[in-house]
Amino acid sequence: MDILSDTLEVLRTGRPMVTRTDAHAPWALRFRPISGAGFHVVVEGHCHLLPPDGRPVALGPGDIVFLQRGSGHVLCDLPGRAPVDFVPERVDRSSPIGRLTVDGPGPRTVLVCGAYAIDVDRPHPLFGDLPEVIHLPAVPGRHPVLRSAVDQLCAEFHAPQPGSDAVVTALVDLLLLYVLRSWYADLPKDRTRGWAAALTDPAVAPALKAIHDDPGHPWTVESLGTRAGLSRAAFARRFTSVVGEPPLTYLTTWRMATAARLLQRSPSSLRTIAQRTGYTSEFAFAKAFKRHFGTPPGAYRRQARTSVDERSGHGQEQLPSE
């Protein structure tokens, strides 16, 4: 698996939630912060995003906004409207795609609103490198793969067919990867720092791939430098400059992310998880895990599974897509 796909797979904590929102002017909805990443796609009509900080963002058909930390925000037909709090109980959840209607006498705006179940609080350069709000306007000829996915998404909403729920869910899942690709593509070509640069850097990318492929291996700066074709000192400087942290610090970050995923999704014992993430004993692993996350691995596993149970049931109200 490539580095970006692997990173998203590890940081995911569940499937995305999706809602079709039909809003008739005048309207303004206030979405509270969530633990995850939020998004909105304008299927038809026009509206405005009011971020917690900054100026209103005008949105038109085909536009996408991605809120990487799920911060609180307002969507409205026009700035200046008095917003009402989004009420999760108003969403029709009789199908995988929730439906919400805001009645009014004015023009209609149709939105695909939702949330990605991603552990954005888990420290990783991928999210530290992103702006809080990414706005990708629908510009003809720009980001054709992303535009194709959005066009397919809009087509499913305009003319639903058997299987549309599954198609929409799959397209929304892919949308996250396409949004990140498109944002990376718009960065200056001479950018030399950050996660986007690390993914293509000829020295750093091979080392990252080695860490991702085998986080349990006893990597050293020297052995990673050999993968990159650089001396120990030169590699350490290059990696730190591009990624923003030293290679062994990133190795620990990735081991902890991998361990967290295993605790959430697998029945493996703590001893097995310790071995798979490069620790010689369960005690050493537990100590490192608590230092990184602030909670022992056993307690983390119980909390994570409780959270998953809530999201699959009544806990859906925590997502902005409802």
Specify the DSSP element, H or E, that contains 17: strand 17-24
Instruction: For the chain, give the mean pLDDT.
Output: 87
Model pLDDT for residues 78-112, shown as the tens digit of each residue? 999 999 988 767 788 777 788 899 999 999 999 99
Give the three-state DSSP class for 126.
helix
State the pLDDT confidence band at 18, using cuts at 50, 70 and 90. Answer: confident
286 φ, ψ (degrees, to nearest 5): -60, -40
Bridging pattern class, strands 133-136 and 57-59:
unpaired
Helix H segments across 187-220? 195-200, 204-213
- CA distances to 15, 65, 87, 94, 246 from 37, in Å: 12, 11, 19, 24, 27
pLDDT at 186 over 80: yes
Over residues 199-238, the pLDDT tens digits come to 989 999 999 999 999 999 999 999 999 998 999 999 999 9
pLDDT digits (tens, 9 = 90+) for 139-176: 888 899 999 998 898 888 888 888 888 888 889 889 99
Check residues 98 and 26 and name the one with the higher pLDDT: 26
Is 239 a residue whose pLDDT tops 60?
yes
Inform me whether the pLDDT recorded for 49 exceeds 90.
yes
Domains of the chain: 3-186 (2.60.120.10), 195-308 (1.10.10.60)
Half-sphere exposure (Cβ direction) of 83: Cα atoms closer than 13 Å:
19
pLDDT at residue 308, rounded to an integer: 58
pTM: 0.82
The pLDDT tens digits for 276-287 are: 999 999 999 999
Closest CA to 100 of 91, 109, 108, 88: 91
Mean pLDDT of 124-151: 89
Angle (CA) 15-21-22 rounded to 5° is 160
